[in-house]
Chains A and B, each alone.
Chain A
């Protein structure tokens, strides 16, 4: 005994505490047992109880910071899982469980709490499809709520930077897991809603365990998402995870990247649309000019038909035709008359008395003596005209010499 040096009680308890705290098995434990000695939360909001089974019992405490996230009301006799660590309360030397989380055994506390809250909020209409607002087609400012250090932020920035760098990101960091998750997200939603020029919010985080994502099932956060004046797209966890925030948001995406894809149009499509419009503009002006040209051509045809020169020319042709006809008519008349005159002339020539006399068809004689010249006659002579078919006796009245 003499070889031992005495230590104080405090030193002993402290030593035991250090020993226990350095044991990694005790750092994170899960104990199953039945609640007893539970008297409700004390004035500070802490919960003290015992956990027991058929043979043993152990003290447990859950401080207010954790107790406020309890999704059920503990009762004596209830079989529960207690998550936490084991340490020593130095003042009494008692060791106890410091509980972070308590879940009822059997039903699956989280699932139960989730279903209960889901049903409650569903009845209130928080998830109604007609409450979901349309998202802006070309958002100008997008509020992003996620962790400053997580991959989700970079994913969102990358997607938007690639698809629609025309907008501006207003980033409001928040805790994406742990006890502060819901409160910090609510606070970020409130902050962003103070900015009238922000027209869309992306709220999200990358994948994680069910426990990690649990904050997104917080009733107040779910209500804050629904009550945001600015439409909210959620992208929480992975494809399989559906948080109550996802149900309450205006649009939910399977991941933060997918939320960013939904949030903005693709610049490639905008380039294409602009190119298509330019093609159409050029087509329209070409059509317009072609139509005008056609109109002009047909007008030209009409105008030409009214040209006075055309009328005059056609009249001239008409007149020339008439002239030719008139000339022909005159020519044919004249040639007929000429034939007539010629035949009369030849008749006249046939009946010429001188010629007749020369031909002996007409002879004059006095007392049987043929006369040739007028000088052989004197006034009062009796002469005889010998015609072709008879003789006529005549007396000379006068003589005129040529």
Chain B
């Protein structure tokens, strides 16, 4: 490893100098191009267009679909544990992926200190999230009414959500014990940032270790599912509540009511056990 290694992307764009060389020989294959340059944009397109479509088409279905009415003893512990955990995890991802390493170095946060905080807080948050979601899934499966209210869509979402959390936590744990593991701030993070400047750093992601790749793929899958599941409620996190006036006056409205039936007003005789999203006869 001598000289300043450079990395070129597939299109032969100008070379970008690397902070730290990726170890070993990295071969970029077609599959890498697909996974780290094509799929991310597909996922982004699905996420953005899907959310817009869902918001326009299905405002009525845009809800948390809370099951607290059925059961609240377990929920009261598990749900905050999971949600606060995942919020901390999101903050962690932001720090790790979006803020360049150079900036951290610039404020005097060296590698060791950074990793100490990242790992300790990360594992704590990850564990909280994991315990939370496991409790939530347990509750969902064992509480009759809650299980009844679980759609196939929910189950699929849970698989990917749990997988993303498990693989994420695993990478964190691995990186504690395996000192040879590649620093994601030199591989995954540059790739992540490069996505948003439309110049995907395929080599960076290719150089990352397998556990990161798997975690990233599950994350991508989760984001692709996002607009079509109940996860959309996160996009309408009610932060505006902090600023809006308490009392809301609204005019009756200037637009004529739609002539087509609106969701929510099921015809009389709707099966009581039917669930949204499940075709009814």
Q: Do A and B bind each other?
A: no
> Which A residues fall within an 8 A CB radius of B?
none
Chain B interface (Cβ < 8 Å from any Cβ of A): none
